[in-house]
Amino acid sequence: MRLRAAKEFVIEKLIFLSGIASIVFVALIFIFLLKEGISLFKTIAPGDFLSGRLWYPISDPPKLGILPLILGSLLVTAGAIVLAVPLGIASAFYIAEIAPRRLRDILKSLIEILSAIPSVVLGFIGMITLVPFIKKFFNLPTGLTALSGAIMLAFMALPTIISISEDAINAVPREYKEGAIALGSTHWQTLYRVVIHGALPGVIAAAMLGIGRVFGETMAVMMVTGNAAVIPKGLMQPVRTLTATIAAEMGEAVRGSEHYYALFAIGIVLFIISFAINFTADLFLNRGRKR
């Protein structure tokens, strides 16, 4: 009997440890980022870092302004979201409410395959096919633009947006729909007057998680956006994102140099923005559950 209690105790503690492990990791990562990134602010004010317009990290003295990078990331993300959110939500409605059962199964597994394509492969395909097309279609000096990045990222955000929206739509109680139809609504009226209201918090959460996915994406963006650190004036221009900057430069940065700390500081900025996005998504998800 004693042995059994001891066993229970050990197992309980082990499960507890597994449970909090991921929280511990997140905390450790954040502490590490802070520790490395904060050293930068001994030599440059946070305001100058965030609002500086020039990024020449290996010059002497280095110019470390990440405003073009922040704007580049935001622009590419915004473009991707404008493309992916309406398409993703419409697709989720089709799969959840309209598609015949067999087609639904096929579509769902294909969307899962889309999410399994490695981003470097998508980036490579984009570089070979999409970039020359964009250049020709819009008659631009180069096809390596924010728009190319936005389109590639829209592809990557779609599976997230579709599957979470679809879950939200399926979670709308059957009685709502039956009630609406009993009152004489058509299928379409039921969808856009009743179902969408029930599913709205979940759909917004899906969009937010899609944004999070897009914002942190690196490889595909680096391959198709041209990586010029200029303040973007529109989607048809090359941009450099925060993530691509870290990926492209971390290999070279001399440990302990200002450049090295600046890359960690960029990491902090990314971490804070992603955290805010996920936190907002969580708020909406919880609201959906309570109702």
Interface residue list for other proteins (CB under 8 A): 54-60, 68, 127, 132, 135, 141-144, 222-223, 226-230, 238, 240, 248-249, 251-252, 254-255
At 48 the three-state DSSP class reads helix
- Provide the minimum distance between the beta carbon of 119 and other proteins in the complex, in angstroms, as a whole number: 14
Complex with other proteins: residue 68 or 216, whichever CB lies closer: 68
Amino acid present at 92: A
Q: How far is the CB of 115 from other proteins (least distance, A)?
A: 24
**Shortest distance in whole angstroms from residue 41 CB to other proteins:** 22
Helix (H, G, I), strand (E, B) or coil at 40: helix
> Token digits for 189?
């009226």
Q: Closest separation between CB of residue 263 and other proteins, Å? A: 11
- Give the residue with the Cβ less far from other proteins, 35 or 53: 53
The CB-based long-range contact list for 118-122 (8 Å cut-off, 24+ gap) reads 119/156, 119/217, 119/218, 119/219, 119/220, 120/219, 120/220, 120/223, 122/152, 122/155, 122/156, 122/220
Q: Which of 266, 245, 207 is nearest to 78 (CA)?
A: 207
Least Å distance, CB 221 to other proteins, is: 11
Q: Give whichever of 92 and 236 is closer to other proteins, judged by the CB atom.
A: 236
Kindly tell me which of 230 and 283 has the beta carbon lying closer to other proteins: 230
Prior bond of 86 cis (ω within 30°)? no
C-beta of 72 vs 198, nearer to other proteins: 72
Rounded CA-CA distance 223/236 in Å is 16
Q: How far is the CB of 57 from other proteins (least distance, A)?
A: 6
Q: Which two tokens stand for residue 233?
A: 């004036």
| Cβ atoms 92, 161 nearer than 8 A | yes
Residue whose CB is less far from other proteins, 169 or 223: 223
